[in-house]
Amino acid sequence: MNDEQQPQTRAIRGQMQQTAYREHSTPLFLTSSFTFPTAEAMADTFAGQGEGIIYSRYNNPSVDELIAKACALEGMEAGFATASGMGAVFASLAALVEQGDHILATRAVFGSTHQILTQILPKWGVTFTYVEPDAPDDWAAAVRPETKLFVTETPSNPGLRLVDLERAGTFCRTHGLTYIVDNCFATPHLQRPGDYGADLVTHSATKWMDGQGRVLGGLLLGTSEVMERVIFFCRHTGPAMSPFNAWVISKSLETLHIRMDAHCRSALEMATWLGEQRGVARVHYPFLKSHPQYALARRQMRAGGGIVTFELEGGVAAASGLLNAVQLCSRSSNLGDTRTILTHPATTTHSKLTPEEREAVGISDGLVRMSVGLEAVADLQADLLRGL
């Protein structure tokens, strides 16, 4: 790939080498293993010297193409693709900690990440502490001699709280912590944590990267140093992405920049409009001036992202009423699709949290999360008016 080109060009033109057929669109390599011309070539490859590919749990041309493009977009050196976003999040943590280690995480992390921190890693003697995403001055007090990782997500799901990526980078360097960012909500088109010193970025490629609600996928992208340990862990524990899913997502990356620009434009329009509707108590969107971290959002993000959340005055009843009234928007728990999706976090994605835990991450009973799709904004507004 050409390092001089802009990321969007590399996402379009960074395809694998043509085969003997000189195809224009990339072929799909549905094969579990690969062959070798000689026993010696096979032995060399197993010894880490040959050019060959061994087995699709390790490498596959369709998957490698996706990883190369994603590395170009994030400005990272190496990567691994997993079957889902959670496969990536789990591998990022499990590969980099040992018994007795401690993790610092910003409080507003994805629901299943919270389950890994609270239910799974403690089984192996790994502990964690939550710090507030928007209070970086307090983070240092939570660092212990055994703290190894700083794990964060910005903007958070569904609270849309931001973490100052530059401050976090300085903090991690000062305390010698490995800096991990779940960049799912922003995508590398809107922000690149690696530019602020992040060692490792994780993605649920299921969301905006595929962007059409078709396949699950996860990505781990980082410095060569950190990825060496992560790739070793993944090769031997087996979370690899299917070549088919990689082929789908790699194609999707060709349009990531135009899709994200359009999602963000519509989301800002919807957020502004929602703020003027009766029954809507509050609207949260990073690029609204009313967002408490608006200045930070403008500094570190190209645009506000495709997610808008809003609080309805009537609590659970009002939120259920809206979700039942819409005819165009989908009731689903996914996000990052061409189709607009409404979710009621308190009764679905975050129902396992106690009311106090929900309160702490800003999920009130009347909160609705809207993943703004690519339909005409006027049609979305007309649909929401059925239930507002």
Ligand X SMILES: *Cc1c(COP(=O)(O)O)cnc(C)c1O
Interface residues toward ligand X, by CB under 6 A: 84-86, 89, 110, 153, 157, 182, 184-185, 204, 206-207, 216, 218
Angle at Cα 146 formed by Cα 140 and Cα 148, nearest 5°?
75
**Min CB(144)–ligand X separation in Å:** 26
Q: Closer to ligand X by CB, 10 or 369: give it.
A: 369
Q: Closer to ligand X by CB, 160 or 312: give it.
A: 160
Coil, helix or strand at residue 104:
strand
**Residue, CB closest to ligand X:** 85
Q: Closer to ligand X by CB, 288 or 341: give it.
A: 341
Instruction: Return the closest-CA partner of residue 291 out of 315, 306, 308, 277.
Output: 308
**Min CB(84)–ligand X separation in Å:** 3
Q: Closer to ligand X by CB, 15 or 84: give it.
A: 84
Q: How many residues does the chain have?
A: 388
The answer to whether residues 336 and 306 touch, using CB atoms and an 8 Å cutoff, is yes
The DSSP result for 36-83, as a single string, is -SSHHHHHHHHTT-SS---BTTT--HHHHHHHHHHHHHHT-SEEEEES
Using CA atoms, how far residue 369 sits from 9, 72, 179, 363, in Å, is 32, 31, 28, 10
**Min CB(25)–ligand X separation in Å:** 25
The answer to whether residues 67 and 219 touch, using CB atoms and an 8 Å cutoff, is yes
Q: Closer to ligand X by CB, 61 or 336: give it.
A: 336
**Min CB(360)–ligand X separation in Å:** 17
**Min CB(335)–ligand X separation in Å:** 6
**Min CB(308)–ligand X separation in Å:** 15
Using CA atoms, how far residue 116 sits from 18, 122, 139, 223, in Å, is 41, 9, 21, 24
Q: Closer to ligand X by CB, 69 or 203: give it.
A: 203
**Min CB(141)–ligand X separation in Å:** 26
Coil, helix or strand at residue 368:
strand
Q: Closer to ligand X by CB, 97 or 186: give it.
A: 186
- Beta strand pairing call for 200-204 and 307-312: unpaired
Q: Closer to ligand X by CB, 154 or 266: give it.
A: 154
**Min CB(365)–ligand X separation in Å:** 21
Coil, helix or strand at residue 273:
helix
Using CA atoms, how far residue 387 sits from 1, 313, 335, 370, 374, in Å, is 50, 13, 21, 14, 20
